[in-house]
Each structure stands twice: as C-alpha cells, then as structure tokens.
Structure 1
C-alpha cells in the first residue's frame, strides 16, 4: 500500500475511533475522507478530530442549516514534481 493511501486510511481509522463515520474515496490525484459531525460533539472530541485532520494535506468543514456539518480531508496520492509546484504556465 502506498504511503499516501496508508496515511488516508490512518486518518479515517482515527476519525472512526473518535466516534465519526468516515467515508474514504480514492481519486486520481487525492484520497478524500469525509465525515458528518454531530451537533453534540464535545470540545475534547473536536480537538482530537482537528489534530487528526491536520495530518492531511488539506482539510476543512462544510456547514449549513440544511445538511449540518461535514468535515473533509484530502491526502495527495503523489507528490507534485518540482517543476509543477507553481502550476502550468508558471514555470521558469
């Protein structure tokens, strides 16, 4: 198993241990992890969950009155090539 996939699975397992039900999806560039966050999540659990998702390459929270709160994290499947760091058309 590639290291990035292992990181994503570890994040999902730790979110599950914190009481969330994560969903993992493998995409071409990233592996995404999403979990619904219950309204009654304690402050201690929030700290634990934020420590977990901070290990991802990117993370965030979608919140609205219709769908509640969804925590997400993304782990890059491959590291960008040095020349591609600034994006297409921005290379020296």
Structure 2
C-alpha cells in the first residue's frame, strides 16, 4: 500500500483532474482532502467526482454540507497506515466540517 502522503497526493490529483480545487486539512491522526461542490454540477463532472472518491484509496470519504451551507466532497487518509479503515465511506468521530 502506498504511504499516506502518496495517497493524499493521489486523491488531490484525481480531484484536480475532475475539475475541482482540492485543499488539505491536516489533523493529528489523519489528513482530509476536500473540495467545494457548486450548486450546478453537470452529470459528467459528478461522475468524475464520484470516480475520484471511489478509486482514490481513501480510508473514508463522503459528500455533505458545512454549517455555512457550502457543499463539500471529502476524503480522509489515516497518517498511520496501520489505522487504515476497511470500510470506505465510514465517518470517523474525529471528522468535523
């Protein structure tokens, strides 16, 4: 399995290739890559976003809204490879938007 840093770089590259502007949020135990999702997203771009998340190698990922009403897509990677989650899509209690 690639290092956590390499996985984060891969996720960011896939999201960029899908036409989104990724940003990294560093936490003690994990790194979260997130992008803003505009209100109007063409179907092909939605497909590219979902493909990027599903094939990214993230330990978990999701789509949601912040308390400020922004829609975001995100992927999380544990910094310790031994802590990798076996169920993508899970929401760890440490993630806060």
TM-score range for the pair, normalised by the shorter chain length: 0.7 to 0.9
Alignment of 1:37-76 (within 5 A): 37-54=37-54, 55=56, 56-63=58-65, 66-76=68-78
Which contiguous aligned blocks of 4+ residues in structure 1 show a shift greater than 6 angstroms? none
Which residue of structure 2 lines up, in the alignment, with residue 18 of structure 1? 18
Which residue of structure 1 lines up, in the alignment, with residue 7 of structure 2? 7
Q: TM-score, normalised by structure 2?
A: 0.69
Structure 2 alignment gaps of length 5 or more? 84-97
Cα distance in structure 1, aligned partners of 2:27 and 2:38: 26
Cα distance in structure 2, aligned partners of 1:52 and 1:37: 13
- Report deviation, 1:75: 0.8
Structure 1 alignment gaps of length 5 or more? 81-92
Cα distance in structure 1, aligned partners of 2:75 and 2:66: 18
Q: Which protein has the larger Cα radius of gyration, Structure 1 or Structure 2?
A: 1
Q: TM-score, normalised by structure 1?
A: 0.73
- Report deviation, 1:27: 2.1
Q: Please state which structure has a larger fraction of its residues in strand.
A: 1
Query: How many pairs were matched up?
Result: 79
Deviations 1:39-75 (A, max 9, x none): 2211111111112112311011113795231111101
State the Cα RMSD in Å.
2.0
